[in-house]
Amino acid sequence: MDGCRTVSVAMVGLFGALMLTGCRAEAEAPTSESSAAVAISVLETSAGRYEFTPTTCGIHSQDGFDDIEIQGPGTAPDGERLFFELSSTANAMTIGLGVDGPFASPERRIQAGRVYSQEFTIVASGRQLSVAGLVLVDENGASIDDGATLTIDCGAQ
């Protein structure tokens, strides 16, 4: 019985040491991540730069087809909050103005793509994406820009 108790005490001690080591590693991880540069992505329009930071960068390639889903918060040229969404499958880009998270219902939007204005093509080079000649419209379909440029950096993801 004493042998079992000794092994149990040793196991509890070892487990406790491992837990503390794991906690210390988790506590130190954000410090090294916070020193890394944040990748800013940009939609260049005639009205200015809409900047955002991708928090979701889903890029899946199979049989020569890219399935791309990008989301992230950012700011409009005037400093207003925005939430950016891009889907290659839906061929849609949407910027919700005045919101900074998914599933929000913005009153004002900037949109592009097959359903809203004109189909676009995403050019992927590794984790870097670009779209030239985006035709942007507002939530009512009124023209905003007919030659915007989008550059997305998913390298930090």
Backbone angles phi, psi at 40, to 5 degrees: -100, 130
- In this model, does residue 25 exceed pLDDT 60? no
Q: Which of 31-35, 63-67, 144-148, 150-154 has the weakest average pLDDT?
A: 31-35
What's the Cα-to-Cα distance from 78 to each of 2, 11, 49, 62, 81, rounded to whole Å? Answer: 73, 59, 9, 39, 9
The pLDDT-based confidence of 2 (bands split at 50, 70, 90) is low
Q: Which residue type sits at 46?
A: S
Percent of the chain residues past pLDDT 90, beyond the cut: 60
Integer Cα distance of 77 and 90 in angstroms: 26
Q: Kindly report, residue by residue over 143-155, the tens digit of the pLDDT.
A: 999 999 999 998 8
Structure tokens at 104: 């929000």
Helix (H, G, I), strand (E, B) or coil at 2: helix
pTM exceeding 0.85: no
Structure tokens at 83: 């939430």
Q: Kindly report, residue by residue over 94-108, the tens digit of the pLDDT.
A: 999 999 898 888 999
Structure letter (DSSP) for residue 99? -
Structure letter (DSSP) for residue 101? S
Give 11-80 as a 3 state SS string: HHHHHHHHHHHHHHHHHHHHHHHHCCCCCCEEEEECCEEEEECCCEEEEEEECCEEEEEEEEEEECCCCC
Q: Kindly report, residue by residue over 111-148, the tens digit of the pLDDT.
A: 999 999 999 999 988 889 999 999 999 999 999 999 99
Please give the pLDDT value at position 66. 81
Q: Which residue has the tokens 């928090």?
A: 55
Please give the pLDDT value at position 39. 67
Residue 126's CB: how many other CB atoms inside 10 A?
A: 8
Percent of the chain residues past pLDDT 70, beyond the cut: 74
In the chain, where the domains are located: 1-35, 41-153
Please answer whether residues 85 and 79 qualify as being in contact, where contact means their C-beta atoms are separated by less than 8 angstroms: no
